[in-house]
Chain A
Amino acid sequence: MITISQTLKAIDESSYEEVVSQCIERIKNNKLNTFITIAEESALEIAKNINSSKNHLQPLAGVPVAIKDNISTKGIQTTCASNILTGYVPPYDAHVIERLKEAGAIIVGKANMDEFAMGTSTETSHYGPALNPWNTDHVSGGSSGGSAATVAAGEVSVALGSDTGGSVRCPASFCGVVGLKPTYGIISRYGLISYANSLEQIGPIATNVKDMTLLFNVITGYDSRDSTSVQIEKDYTESLVNDVNGLIIGVPDEYFGEGTEPAVEKAVWDGVHTLEGLGASWKKVKMPHTRYALAAYYIIAMSEASSNLARFDGMRYGLRLTKDHDWHTTYSEIRAKGFGEEVKRRVLLGTYALSAGYMDKYYLKALKVRTLVKQDFDLALKDTDVLIAPTMPAPAFKLGEKISDPLTLYLADVNTVPINLAGVPSISLPCGFDNGLPIGLQIIGRHFDEETVLRVAYTFEQNTDFHTITPEVR
């Protein structure tokens, strides 16, 4: 794995171009399938000219960055790992891309993901799964699997993912890297192609908390083009303090439920005790509505998806069929050919959940559960500073193991989705290994209290070695 400072050092020792071309070589040479599109030409072009622009003075000057393929990049194909967006080249940059460019970062390509971010393994990608660098028989997690795997494999030092129900934290956990699902509203979603717009946030992924925070600093901030964007300007690197003295950690039993691997349970508790040894205290907290969260999450996410994905009709961009028909036929054919099985399943279920006669029973009920889940967090975080829980109940599963059984696959999200329902921030970072596969713990905080979450994560990392262990990528 490589860090930002290693990358900057390499630039000093060679050149921007050299570092970018080496990065692209690494991506091309391994077999992890981490990228859908490599932006070789534009990346090299920018690297070549960076000295003549003011960007070489910026914090991420020349640092190669991977972007999840559901974030719009001007001039670079953006597919959401779906056949339906084949050939779609956005005419505009997402807000976070504008920020990255201003900070001097170089986009080397678009990372693999589950189709439209619907999945936990990148196995629903039209381009095939991104493999886990620790063991290529295992999944990289999802939906931002490509982003986490490319960081874990040392192809790039930082990447952007998006987290709708765990899509940054799950692959970060599976790939042994650090990933943040920020508070809803803290990063502009302008340019993020929606799956479930009331739940998702763009999130940074890196090999360590500091790099992740540097990236987070760059992409946060108010954007008038997203009405859910909030006006907060902070320097989060100030939160990187090696001190948890006096902090109170809440541990919810509900997050260690049935299906939690003993190794995971042990590693997470070890982590809690490590922090205890550093001066924090812990207590158990009750989060009684956790068990309804998964069902509520899937109903809300699918309902929103059914509407968000309605615009993909093949009329203006993306997949085209050769024959012209009336619009009805064209829409049906494009959507039948363009969407994969999981996307169709979620669009159909979401359509059903919103239909007349069922809306009260499903969608509106799910909204009520969402309110209760939020209350759980408010109460639990009232007399604690952060909550700690396993990110995933088990380490990365094998390719093909769960993909044919959607319900089992959905169950893997049990610890990540409540955080999205509540909109609070949560960071996943490595806390152990099981059979050579990383285990992640998540630190959850209050709304807009990324500072405390980062501080606890940084302290944990400074006092453990898990982040220094690197997979051997073949």
Chain B
Amino acid sequence: MIEEYLKYRPLLDDTGIMIGLEIHVQLNKLNTKIFCGCGLDYHNDPPNTHTCPVCLGLPGSLPVINRKAVEYSIKLGLALNCSIQEHTQFYRKNYYYPDLPKGFQITQYDFPLASNGYINIEGENGEVRIRINRAHMEEDPGRLVHEGGNIEHSKHTMIDYNRSGVALLEIVTEPDLRSPKEARRFLDKLRSIIEYLDVCNTSLEGATRVDANISLAGGSRSEIKNISSHKGAERALLFEVVRQKNLLRRGGKVVLETRHFNEEMGITVSLRTKEEEHDYRYFPEADLVPIKVADWAPGIAKTLPELPDAKRERFVSQYGISDDHAKSLTSEKRLAEFYEEVAAHVNPKMAAVWTADVLKGELNYRDIGITAFKSEDMVKLLKLVADDKITDSSGNQIIRTVLDEGGSPDSIVESEGLLKAGGDIIGTAVDEAINENPQAVTDYQNGKQEAVNFLIGQVMKKTRGRSDAKAVREMIIEKFKGIM
């Protein structure tokens, strides 16, 4: 089996890292849960207020499939280049756990809705195709709430069934990833696709959860369960690489086991070994009649939006921007839309630099999203720069001010007096500076180049920073030539 995977994609080095991911995506943009009519807008509501006999698993209740959830799943399956099953077929996965009110989870087993797809990502050595084994639908269990927030110290655990029955699509990759960094990139790419499709608000708590399988050459695989962030996934995998490497170096054995990632401490701890694994006794769910979906896929395919890869290619050809810029701008749906709104009014290359390099940097620094800045403001700002009315550094300053204090570029230009000073004003300021500082002139004549810098500083002070320093330098040197 491993040989097959390695034939598909060789190891990067003799550490022999192989990683596979399972990602649970909550289809939280639906109006209702997967098998009942309960709503999904529970995040700000008290526990157990969005429940009914079905999602509480009360005796006698029956599931009915949410057809929109099937539609969303097919949409995501198609976007992952999967083939779609002809019929839906659900199974029961039988196990006991307090968050599971029926004592089984309704999921898919044989005949997953989508299978055999892929996503392209930036690998350690260029672009690489990561295969998707399958994407199957299932119901989310309830949420355990530990008293005091910690499973080790709490005396009681409470259960919130608001989450119970939310539709999930579980996406399972082949073990084609070869480093924690690649895993992170895969997850970022997947998130971007999910956002493009508008099937999941990934910013909600628990919207995407990751299980990661990792093995090193000479060891067994360990599975890290329930990682809640992409950063966390990379950290957990990095921890595992080091742990497994050390273990193997000391002659120890990496055993097949399930581990838990402690996000706070950044470590993984053993949960159970393979011998303690359940026999889930999967068997068909007779309460859900299969739905023929073979003829749904073509129609849904037509509604697919332009996905990140296609958009990136178009940006390069349509706007003439660099591939790096195009990649950065298409990494988030909203960012790409922002860019196109701006590029429609100003030079697209300039728009790319200011959006991808400047604005995105400021946003990342503040850990906020693109919605914090309006595209019209960017257009106004870039027009000011393009018309030479403000300096680049003023442009930067305006972005920072908008993000930190609010306001529009125009009002900030006004209140901060950022309009570039006109030539005569600068000329007057230069003359004044030279006349007021005869010592600087003498210094310059004696070969002290720093004297120029001093004078530039004086001019900038007089013009309240609105002068272009380079232009001022040229003017001063020109004046000196006249004096000498």
Q: Does B60 contact A (CB under 8 A)?
A: yes
A211-250 interface bits toward B, Cβ cutoff 8 Å, 1 = contact, 0 = none: 0000000000000111110000000000000000000000
Chain B interface size, under 10 / 10 to 19 / 20 to 34 / 35 or more: 20 to 34
A315-356 interface bits toward B, Cβ cutoff 8 Å, 1 = contact, 0 = none: 111000000000100010000000000000000000100111
Q: Is the CB of B59 within 8 A of A91?
A: no
Q: Does B58 contact A (CB under 8 A)?
A: yes
Q: Does B39 contact A (CB under 8 A)?
A: no
* Stretch from A34-42, A151-159, A192-200, A272-280 contacting the other chain: A192-200
With a cutoff of 8 Å between Cβ atoms, the chain B residues found around residue A197 in the complex are 286-287
Q: Does B342 contact A (CB under 8 A)?
A: no
CB distance from A11 to the nearest CB of B (A): 31
Complex partner residue of B281 from A190, A227, A351, CB under 8 angstroms: A351
Q: Does A361 contact B (CB under 8 A)?
A: no
Given contacts A307-B103, A316-B101, A363-B283, contact A225 B64 (CB under 8 A): yes
With a cutoff of 8 Å between Cβ atoms, the chain A residues found around residue B92 in the complex are 307
Q: Is the CB of B289 within 8 A of A92?
A: no
Nearest chain-A residue to B93 (Cβ)? A307
Nearest chain-B residue to A351 (Cβ)? B281
Q: Is the CB of B96 within 8 A of A224?
A: no
Cα-based distance from A35 to B61 in the complex (angstroms): 24
Q: Does B133 contact A (CB under 8 A)?
A: no
CB distance from B377 to the nearest CB of A (A): 49
Nearest chain-B residue to A191 (Cβ)? B60
With a cutoff of 8 Å between Cβ atoms, the chain A residues found around residue B307 in the complex are none
Q: Is the CB of A310 within 8 A of B60?
A: no
Number of A residues near B (Cβ < 8 Å) is 44
Complex partner residue of B102 from A311, A355, A363, CB under 8 angstroms: A311
Given contacts A91-B53, A92-B53, A355-B281, contact A71 B60 (CB under 8 A): yes
A436-472 interface bits toward B, Cβ cutoff 8 Å, 1 = contact, 0 = none: 0000000000000000000000000000000000000
Cα-based distance from A355 to B58 in the complex (angstroms): 25
With a cutoff of 8 Å between Cβ atoms, the chain A residues found around residue B283 in the complex are 303, 307, 354, 359, 363
Cα-based distance from A214 to B283 in the complex (angstroms): 38
Residues 336-389 of A at the B interface (beta carbon under 8 Å): 351, 354-356, 359, 363
Nearest chain-B residue to A315 (Cβ)? B98
Q: Is the CB of A198 within 8 A of B286?
A: yes
Q: Is the CB of B59 within 8 A of A90?
A: yes
Nearest chain-A residue to B287 (Cβ)? A197
Q: Does B288 contact A (CB under 8 A)?
A: yes
Cα-based distance from A353 to B476 in the complex (angstroms): 94
With a cutoff of 8 Å between Cβ atoms, the chain B residues found around residue A78 in the complex are 59
Q: Does A267 contact B (CB under 8 A)?
A: no
Q: Is the CB of A193 within 8 A of B62?
A: no
Given contacts A92-B53, A197-B287, contact A307 B58 (CB under 8 A): no
B61-98 interface bits toward A, Cβ cutoff 8 Å, 1 = contact, 0 = none: 11111000000000000000000000000001010111
With a cutoff of 8 Å between Cβ atoms, the chain B residues found around residue A356 in the complex are 279, 281
CB distance from B286 to the nearest CB of A (A): 4
Given contacts A189-B62, A190-B62, contact A304 B98 (CB under 8 A): no
Cα-based distance from A327 to B159 in the complex (angstroms): 12
Q: Does B56 contact A (CB under 8 A)?
A: yes
Nearest chain-B residue to A88 (Cβ)? B59
Q: Is the CB of A92 within 8 A of B58?
A: yes
Cα-based distance from A226 to B65 in the complex (angstroms): 10
With a cutoff of 8 Å between Cβ atoms, the chain B residues found around residue A193 in the complex are 59-60
Q: Does B57 contact A (CB under 8 A)?
A: yes
Cα-based distance from A310 to B105 in the complex (angstroms): 11
B243-284 interface bits toward A, Cβ cutoff 8 Å, 1 = contact, 0 = none: 000000000000000000000000000000000000101010
Complex partner residue of B57 from A71, A94, A304, A311, CB under 8 angstroms: A311
Q: Does A85 contact B (CB under 8 A)?
A: yes
Q: Is the CB of B103 within 8 A of A313?
A: yes
Cα-based distance from A356 to B282 in the complex (angstroms): 9
Cα-based distance from A71 to B60 in the complex (angstroms): 7
Given contacts A310-B96, A355-B281, contact A90 B56 (CB under 8 A): no
Cα-based distance from A5 to B429 in the complex (angstroms): 111
B27-67 interface bits toward A, Cβ cutoff 8 Å, 1 = contact, 0 = none: 00000000000000000000000000100111111111100
A→B interface (CB under 8 Å):
70-72, 78, 80, 85, 88, 90-92, 94, 189-194, 197-198, 224-228, 303-304, 306-307, 309-313, 315-317, 327, 331, 351, 354-356, 359, 363
In the complex, given contacts A190-B62, A193-B60, what are 20 additional A-B residue pairs having Cβ atoms less than 8 angstroms apart? A80-B59, A85-B59, A90-B58, A94-B60, A190-B61, A191-B61, A194-B60, A225-B64, A227-B64, A227-B289, A228-B289, A306-B94, A309-B103, A310-B96, A310-B103, A311-B101, A312-B103, A317-B59, A354-B281, A355-B281
| 13 residue pairs bridging A and B, Cβ less than 8 Å apart | A71-B60, A90-B58, A191-B60, A192-B60, A194-B59, A227-B63, A307-B281, A309-B103, A310-B103, A311-B103, A312-B59, A312-B103, A351-B281
